[in-house]
């Protein structure tokens, strides 16, 4: 179904226009009163969500709405929206989670100053994200892409007065000579600059493709593939695809541009929830999900290299950040590490899809993980915000025993945490993670086994650090910090319903959908299988014919058990949860094993320090991208600018002054002298002519 304008097409436009309208009017509305301002922001977020909901029938029917208007006539570029099954599901996910976060914000941010600025950027944030999701071309998508970058910079650094309580990291902690704590303003700038590195690559890839195709439109790029033929002949197609992926690496905090995400915890918990669950970091995954079928449809041009890069970058990032989460003491930073790691899973699944004999299976698994992660991670971040609000510290070691005082927060965070840890059969996180395991095993990719091992190890570490977070926070005795709070008259209490109800809805949802996760996953598979077949011509039979022996071998391990589970994948899922969960339980919940055992051994102590210092990657980035270049510039300034360039300037000045004196000496005002010089000049010229 294609509509130019009118009918349901209007709703597609309104999904992203409503938040932008809110951002435009919120300052004016604030003059009418604080409550009216807050209700207006929440109401427009709800209006966007309702508009997105009206599009759901399109996903189930396999239909689409493609609406365009004239934009840049000289280049024949149109602005348009594309509501297909992929964007409809994503738009609803973004809209409804954002709405719940907005409701949460009315309680969590109550009493904060500059809330008009807060609401402006929050509305601008979700408007930009929905623009990314619903755009029908790369150029319009890029406007939304830059919009979420600007909003994240403003919201990560929202508390720009840089009070110590708003910092992240432990003050005084250094690694490789680099401070490992950061202020909100510093973190905002860091997020902005590091994502811009990815944005630059993305922009280069976009215009490289436009130079050959003459269009940014997703549908136009698929319909006429002559551009791909030309680029493939010049060996530019894969580099262009990888450049686009570079944008996703920056926005989704994948290696090597992952370090900004960890400092981004300086923003309010509501901002962290929005960035990690509904916007920003999910933008990169969505971009890859949007372009992956297009590039797989161009498989004849050797696009397997692109998918290998996606899969291995995702796998390495998943392992890298999960290992760091094990050692970090700050609750929001543990969740931030977890986000980057889980997004690595999503990237790995979409990458393996392009190297598989069944593209739809890996593609669905990656998007399934995106959906489940959005739900439980939003709940966990909002829950952690509730804890920080009551405890007044970001460090888990300053908590302890909080389940006695915040029973509702404990229950709902535990439910969401079980989904993050992939508790078998009852959580949405289990089904999505198991789907990734199965897609890797059944891909037929020649290097599937190493990827599978990495995925299982990451799942084990995820279960461990999740139980560690719950154990240190809610179990054991009260910390000295809590004792001091109570002595000073501060009571430990549950947060208000306006704060806990939004994350309770999401936490319960992860279990409710988890109980029927096999059916949810099957329906998602059905939707995406039809979507890929109808719009890209990607079917399993076609993939088998196009597979090359370089990357694909005969698929195996496709036997299914009860509820459609792959036996090896299911065993790995159960085993990873059992091992990681058991160790986490023994160390941090039952306390039958002492975590201090790590410090008693030189090897384990060195490993812990390595992980706590973030593999020294943050230090390497500062030395390589900041301190090193600045040192080089100083050397250039001291020995080239001052000595050479300034020396040349002074020498030129001296010569001009000397020349001026010579000329001045000849200006005597005596006629005979001028005639003499004139005569000498003529004689010299005559002599030169006679030679």
Q: What is the longest distance spanned by two Cα atoms in the chain?
A: 118
- Structure-model confidence comparison of residues 687 and 90, the more confident one: 90
Check if the beta carbon of residue 245 is closer than 8 Å to that of residue 306: yes
pLDDT band at 614 (very low <50, low <70, confident <90, very high): very high
- Residue located via tokens 């004792």: 483
Q: What is the pLDDT of residue 671?
A: 76
Within 10 angstroms of residue 614's Cβ, the number of other Cβ atoms is 24
Q: What is the pLDDT of residue 561?
A: 58
Mean predicted confidence (pLDDT) in 622-641:
88
Domain boundaries, the chain: 362-612, 619-690
Q: Is residue 370's pLDDT more than 50?
A: yes
pLDDT band at 300 (very low <50, low <70, confident <90, very high): low
Mean predicted confidence (pLDDT) in 187-207:
95
Q: Is residue 597's pLDDT more than 50?
A: yes
Q: What is the pLDDT of residue 545?
A: 43
Q: Is residue 158's pLDDT more than 60?
A: yes
* Distances in whole angstroms, Cα of residue 286 to Cα of each of 9, 46, 140, 245, 329: 21, 22, 15, 11, 31
Mean predicted confidence (pLDDT) in 677-688:
86
Q: Are strands 174-175 and 178-179 parallel, antiparallel or unpaired?
A: antiparallel
Check if the beta carbon of residue 386 is closer than 8 Å to that of residue 495: yes
CA distance 527 to 542: 18
Mean predicted confidence (pLDDT) in 485-492:
87
pLDDT band at 155 (very low <50, low <70, confident <90, very high): very high
Q: What is the pLDDT of residue 560?
A: 60
Q: What is the pLDDT of residue 34?
A: 93
* Distances in whole angstroms, Cα of residue 498 to Cα of each of 100, 140, 404, 584: 10, 36, 20, 32
Per the rule left: phi > 0, alpha: psi between -120 and 50, beta: everything else, 477 is beta
- Structure-model confidence comparison of residues 598 and 344, the more confident one: 344
Q: What is the pLDDT of residue 558?
A: 57
Q: Are strands 65-72 and 178-179 parallel, antiparallel or unpaired?
A: unpaired
Q: Is residue 39's pLDDT more than 50?
A: yes
Return the percentage of the chain with pLDDT > 90, whole number.
74
HSE-CB of 578 using CA atoms within 13 angstroms: 6
CA distance 155 to 122: 8
Among 3-12, 87-96, 449-458, 550-559, name the one with the lowest average pLDDT: 550-559
Q: What is the pLDDT of residue 543?
A: 54
- Structure-model confidence comparison of residues 357 and 218, the more confident one: 218
The model's pTM: 0.91
What would the pLDDT profile of 451-476 be if each residue is shown by its tens digit? 999 999 999 999 999 999 999 999 98
Q: Is residue 222's pLDDT more than 70?
A: yes
CA distance 114 to 120: 10
The whole-chain average pLDDT of the chain stands at 91
Q: Which residues of 139-170 are buried (b: 16+ CB within 10 A; e: fewer)?
A: bbbbebbbbbbebbbbbbbbbeeeeeebbbbe
Among 16-20, 322-326, 445-449, 552-556, name the one with the lowest average pLDDT: 552-556
Q: Is residue 486's pLDDT more than 90?
A: no
Return the percentage of the chain with pLDDT > 70, whole number.
95
Q: What is the pLDDT of residue 539?
A: 81
pLDDT band at 622 (very low <50, low <70, confident <90, very high): very high
pLDDT band at 540 (very low <50, low <70, confident <90, very high): low
Q: Is residue 562's pLDDT more than 70?
A: no
Q: Is residue 296's pLDDT more than 50?
A: yes
Q: What is the pLDDT of residue 559?
A: 59
CA distance 194 to 541: 42
The SS3 call for residue 510 is helix
Q: What is the pLDDT of residue 6?
A: 57
The SS3 call for residue 371 is helix
């Amino acid at each position: 179904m294609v509509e130019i304008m009118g009918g349901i097409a209007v709703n597609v436009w309104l999904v992203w226009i409503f938040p932008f309208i809110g951002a435009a009017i919120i300052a004016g509305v604030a003059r009418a009163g604080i409550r009216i301002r807050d209700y207006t922001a929440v109401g427009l977020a709800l209006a966007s969500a309702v508009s997105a909901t009206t599009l759901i029938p399109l996903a189930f029917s396999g239909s689409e709405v493609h609406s365009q208007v004239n934009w840049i006539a000289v280049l024949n570029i149109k602005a348009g929206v594309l509501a297909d099954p992929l964007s409809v599901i994503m738009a609803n996910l973004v809209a409804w989670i954002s709405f719940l976060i907005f409701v949460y914000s009315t309680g969590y941010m109550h009493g904060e100053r500059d809330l008009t600025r807060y609401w402006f950027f929050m509305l601008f944030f979700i408007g930009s994200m929905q623009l990314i999701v619903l755009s029908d071309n790369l150029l319009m998508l890029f406007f939304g892409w830059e919009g979420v970058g600007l909003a994240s910079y403003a919201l990560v650094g929202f508390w720009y007065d840089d009070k110590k309580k708003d910092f992240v990291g432990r003050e005084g902690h250094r690694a490789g000579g680099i401070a490992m704590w950061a202020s909100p303003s510093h973190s905002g700038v860091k997020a902005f600059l590091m994502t811009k590195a990815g944005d630059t690559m993305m922009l280069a890839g976009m215009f490289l493709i436009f130079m050959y195709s003459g269009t940014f439109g997703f549908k136009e790029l698929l319909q006429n593939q002559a551009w791909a033929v030309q680029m493939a002949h010049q060996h530019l197609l894969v580099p262009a695809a990888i450049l686009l992926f570079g944008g996703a690496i920056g926005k989704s905090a994948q290696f090597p541009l992952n370090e900004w995400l960890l400092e981004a915890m300086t923003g309010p918990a509501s901002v962290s929830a929005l960035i990690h669950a509904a916007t920003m970091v999910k933008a990169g995954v969505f971009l890859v999900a949007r372009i992956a079928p297009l590039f797989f449809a161009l498989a004849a041009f050797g696009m397997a290299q692109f998918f290998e890069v996606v899969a291995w970058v995702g796998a390495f990032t998943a392992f890298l950040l999960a290992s760091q989460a094990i050692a970090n003491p700050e609750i929001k930073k543990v969740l931030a590490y977890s986000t980057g790691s889980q997004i690595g899973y999503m990237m790995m699944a979409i990458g393996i899809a392009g190297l598989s004999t069944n593209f739809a299976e890996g593609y669905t698994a990656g998007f399934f993980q995106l959906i489940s992660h959005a739900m439980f991670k939003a709940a966990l971040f909002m829950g952690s915000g509730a804890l920080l609000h009551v405890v007044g510290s970001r460090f888990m070691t300053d908590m302890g025993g909080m389940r006695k005082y915040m029973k509702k927060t404990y229950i709902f965070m535990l439910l969401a945490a079980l989904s993050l840890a992939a508790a078998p059969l009852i959580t949405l996180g289990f089904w999505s993670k198991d789907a990734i395991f199965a897609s890797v095993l059944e891909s037929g990719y020649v290097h599937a086994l190493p990827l599978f091992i990495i995925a299982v190890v990451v799942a084990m570490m995820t279960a461990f650090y999740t139980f560690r977070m719950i154990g240190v926070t809610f179990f054991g005795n009260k910390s000295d910090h809590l004792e001091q709070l109570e002595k000073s008259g501060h009571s430990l209490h549950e947060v208000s319903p306006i704060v806990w109800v939004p994350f309770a809805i999401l936490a319960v949802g992860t279990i409710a959908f988890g109980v029927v996760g096999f059916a949810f996953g099957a329906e998602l598979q059905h939707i995406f299988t039809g979507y890929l077949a109808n719009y890209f011509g990607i079917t399993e039979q076609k993939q088998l014919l196009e597979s090359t022996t370089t990357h694909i071998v005969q698929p195996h391990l496709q036997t299914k058990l009860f509820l459609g589970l792959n036996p090896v994948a299911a065993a790995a899922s159960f085993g990873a949860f059992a091992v990681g969960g058991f160790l986490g339980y023994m160390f941090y919940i039952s306390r039958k094993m002492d975590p201090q055992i790590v410090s008693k051994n030189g090897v384990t102590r060195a490993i812990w320090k390595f992980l706590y210092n973030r593999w020294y990657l943050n230090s390497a980035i500062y030395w390589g991208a900041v301190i090193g270049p600045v040192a080089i510039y100083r050397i250039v300034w001291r020995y080239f600018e001052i000595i050479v360039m300034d020396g040349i300037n002074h020498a030129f000045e001296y010569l001009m002054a000397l020349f001026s004196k010579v000329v001045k000496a000849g200006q005597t005002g005596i006629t005979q002298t001028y005639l003499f010089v004139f005569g000498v000049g003529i004689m010299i010229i005559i002599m030169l002519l006679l030679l």
